[in-house]
Copies of this chain bind each other. A is one copy, B any other.
Amino acid sequence: MTTPAIHRIHAASPRRRSPARAGTRSQTFVFRFDQLPEVKRTAKTWDEVKALLGGKGANLAEMTRLGLPVPPGFTVTTEACRAFLKSGNWPRGLWEEEVAALHDLESRTGKRLGDPANPLLVSCRSGAKFSMPGMMDTVLNIGLNAETVEGLAALTGDPRFAWDAYRRLVQMYGTVVLGVRDEPFEHLLAEWRARRRVENDADLEPEDLRAITARFRTIVREQSGREFPDDPMEQLRLATEAVFRSWQGKRAQDYRRAAGIPDDLGTAVNIVAMVFGNMGRGSATGVATTRNVSTGEDALEGDYLINAQGEDVVAGIRATEPIARLAEEMPEAFTELQRIARLLEKHYREVQDIEFTVERGTLWMLQTRDAKRTARAAVKIAVDLAKEKLITREEAVLRVTPEHVDFFLHPQFDPESMRTARSERRLLASGLNVSPGAAVGELAFDADTAERWAKEKKAVVMIRAETKPDDVHGMLAARGILTSRGGRTSHAALVARQFGKPAVVGVMALEVDAEKKEATIKRSSVVLREGDWVSIDGTTGEVFLGQVETMQPSLEDPALIELLGWADRFRRLGVWANADYPRDAQRARALGAEGIGLCRTEHMFFETERLPLVQTLILSRDEAERNEVLGKLLPLQRADFEGLFRAMDGQPVTIRLIDPPLHEFLPAHDTLLKQVTELETRLELKSGNAKDQTLDLAGKRTLLGAVERLREMNPMLGLRGVRLGIHMPGLVRMQVRAIFEAACICAEAGVEVFPKIMIPLVTHGNELRWEQRALEAEAKKVMAEQKRKVRYQFGTMIEIPRAAITADEIASLAQFFSFGTNDLTQTTFGISRDDAETSFLAEYLTEGILPENPFDHIDEGGVGRLMEMAVRLGRKVRPGLNIGICGEHGGDPKSIAFCHRLGLDYVSCSPFRVPVARLAAAHAALHEAKKTAR
């Protein structure tokens, strides 16, 4: 074999294969584990290897190449699978290659398939490029028949083991290869257990198992019309075919659709010599991670069982032992395992998740792959690996995802409590982890119940087959959402993420009967009923029975702080925060914010003591009354701003002048209309105290009149923002006075202040010209009165298409821009978010009409083009114009990357998103640097 395998892998691509090499096709469908060449392992070549051999096959070959104890075996490539699925037949030469590889296997093991004296047994496992756990098929113990089973019994001295293995082969073969239902097999086993009064199949006698196997063969014949094949070669051939076919199974297809895996990849098939952890006390089997994947602690972590098979560990039928005990029970194997673990980590530069078996004292590695981990572990591991110089700091930063950081903001299950739940077999099923966080609650099968219970202060988890817009009120009331159908962009997933509700969707093992208010776990006897407690983990996708304890992770995590410090050095974007109150500003600053990008002054107006003043202001029709109210509001606003300036000493504070339509400060129209109508009817019917009612009615009518005057057909597009400022100049003038009085007072006290006054909803340069002139005059007046000058800027939001289109004119006036991408998205799309997210927008997302929710991620093709235009036009007129974003997208990693590419100066987000944004901004810069390097 002189040609490096990786080159052959390339050559195997149909487009590259030259006619001259057609004769050597025998090299292209099957690869032995020891055929992987010594090539530079880059992300790209490794990706190609995995695409051809599947993840499992690639890693088995890699471990073989590293000289680790992997049972001999070979991989039938994904290309073979694709060719098979395309034509429905075995591609020419494949079977011959497989047979040749098998013979090689026989010569290495010294055993032979079907040899009663020394039978070779092999497993036949699926293994696609991307992990699809449990979605495709596996057949173990291939090679057993009436003769070899006796040979195995003799060879191992363990007839119970040999017959159980044979029984398993017949059952697996029947269900997987011949499509027989599992029930008759399980029914028969249950009968025998009952007859022998034992708990487990393993406690049945060899004779029982022999009888059962005979009956299993009958079941196979009766149900499939075909005989269980005694010829091991036929077993192998048909098993290979079945694994190929399982790629097209409904379960696998559904999974791929949900997980976003392409349909045309195909699966590889791994044929491996069987090793047994259940050959007595000297044998064992286990799973481990090279570090603790819950906490990130640097210690081998896992579980094993003496004298058991791999599936026993996972199934949790027997209580497992912690891996540390293996040091006592099998010290040599444990030392070897530790050495291998360390070696694998070094080699893969990543924590590994491994499977092993000890067969009569000999350690065999059955699998390795990058370990899944909790967010907390991900952060600690990345930092530790960087400190150990296994990876660079840049890599460490890139290995932690914004979602990992986000995790620190959501309650999570306590790892101990989860372990307990697992060991108590309360892990019911897994689904897609579509909205992070942990939720514990009683199951409600419909939205109305969920809502009612929530009102009764019950903790509710809402369960549905899938959700629809009608369910939204229930979803909002629930602590968490659980569905049996739907993928990452299903209605349930979207709504859950939207409102930050933990959710697990697409739990395929779950069958929900909304009518009966029952959910059954397939392949188990568990039935969930209304009111049953469940715990769902939206971070991992796991569903537990009962209550798992939760804990609030802390952002104080030292590893996180260290990692974010590294991130700060890599990023170019500033990270500011949206904060309306001093306490928010303090929190934001503690989390790393470098300024306030948005203070919504109107939020201050909604406070209890102020709202009546604001209402008086709105309802007053004479100047004197208005001025009196403004006089009362001034000191309150000034105190607000003082607090903000002190909290942000030395950093910019962007204050947006009043924005929302006035009716938001008044009582709801419909309530008033109902009250007035009721009072009118009562008066007409002379019911109750007429005098009081008349008085009440008059007041209510006045208020209703005012509300109706201010009412708008489309308030989103109405009298708000700068329009309000121009319409009611006194109010914004008061705000500017408050800002500058506060700034002067703080400056006097030695605080370094830098107010940036932001005028919202500008559409036309003239609005800014008018408003800015008036307000800057007031600012100068205050500074003259206070005999102090403070640094300040006037700027504007870019949140209306016209502002973006005419950004050149606007930049001639504004000293800074801040994108209000919520409103900009609404107007660019002509979509009212309030209405759409519970109606057609959800429909659009589930149907794929919109690829993603433009309110979650900036719509780069539309809204983004307007932003790009605004940046270009603005900086053309005012080079170096300071530009940021303060819409909700400012905290979304994908949008942050876009803002980085646009050349924005900063993103501003809610205080808790600041750490996420710091990391995302660093990612954006690092990805750019990588791209430039290429």
Contacts and interface: CB of A to CB of B under 8 A. Distances in A.
B712 A835 contact: yes
Contact of A806 (B767, B806, B862): B862
Contacts of A687: 685
A699 interface: no
A843 interface: yes
A802 B677 CA distance: 44
Interface stretch (A302-310, A786-794, A823-831): A823-831
How many of chain A's residues touch chain B, expressed as a range? 35 or more
A454 interface: no
Given A805-B828, A830-B763, A830-B802, A835 B717 contact: yes
Interface stretch (A210-218, A279-287, A493-501, A847-855): A847-855
A847 B773 CA distance: 14
Contacts of A839: 718-719, 727
Q: A764, A767, A801, A848: which has the most chain B beta carbons within 10 Å?
A: A801
Interface string A795-817: 00001111001100100000000
A763 B685 contact: no
Interface in A656-690: 670, 673-674, 677-678, 680-682, 685, 687
A832 interface: yes
A606 interface: no
Interface string A759-771: 0010110110010
Interface string A705-723: 0000000111111110001
A685 B685 CA distance: 8
Given A719-B840, A831-B717, A840-B727, A862 B802 contact: yes
A92 interface: no
A567 interface: no
Contacts of A727: 839-840, 843
Query: Secondary structure of the A side of the interface?
Result: helix
Contacts of A607: none
A268 interface: no
A763 B717 contact: no
A866 interface: yes
B767 A849 contact: yes
Contacts of A866: 801, 805
B830 A800 contact: yes
A750 interface: no
A110 interface: no
B681 A717 contact: no
A536 to B, nearest CB: 30
Contacts of A190: none
Contacts of A715: 713-714, 835
Contact of A832 (B717, B836, B848, B863): B717
Contact of A835 (B677, B713, B763, B849): B713
Contacts of A806: 861-862, 865
6 contacts: A673-B673, A681-B682, A717-B717, A764-B849, A801-B862, A802-B862
